[in-house]
Structure formats: structure tokens, C-alpha cells
Amino acid sequence: LILQAFSITFFGEWGDNSQLATIGLATDENPFGVILGGVLGQALCTTVAVFGGKSLASQISEKALSDGVLFIVFGIQSFLSTVES
């Protein structure tokens, strides 16, 4: 479980804009402060995602969620196909 959570977070964040901004911040500021701030920020975001997702999952069935996602995907596809025409 820990390895899976680490991998998802690590590879999801690798090379994104927040990492590039952190690199820039570390060039001008104390690297240990940047590390601490980055770790705390990521921990807070992950905490909100975990508890928010757990709460949402208890209120919405997986079938309703997958139906909603498909509805949105088909809506976007329909919109894009009319724009291209």
C-alpha cells in the first residue's frame, strides 16, 4: 500500500509545474525550508484527497460515478466533433 501510494504521488508529480516552481524557489531560498514546505503542502493535499475521496465514495455508488464520467466524456466528444465540422 505504501509503495503504491508513493509511486502514484511520485510519478504524478514528477516534472509538473509545481516541481518546476519549487526548483526555482530553492535557487533563491533555504533548500531545507523549501523541502519542509513542499512536504507539508503535499501532505495536506493528499490528506484532503484521501478523506474527501473516502467521504465521496460513501455517498456515491461506483456505477453512478462511472455513468457520470461517461456522460461527460461523450458530451466533450460531441462538442469537439461539432467544433471541427
pLDDT of the residue at 62: 67
Q: How far apart are CA 44 and CA 9, in angstroms?
A: 13
- Residue 38 CB partners (closer than 8 Å, separation 6+): 22
* Confidence class for position 84, pLDDT limits 50, 70, 90: low
Could you list the residue range(s) of the whole structural domain that residue 12 is in? 1-82
Domains in the chain, number: 1
pLDDT of the residue at 68: 79
Instruction: Put residue 57 in one of left, alpha, beta given phi > 0 → left and psi -120 to 50 → alpha.
Output: alpha
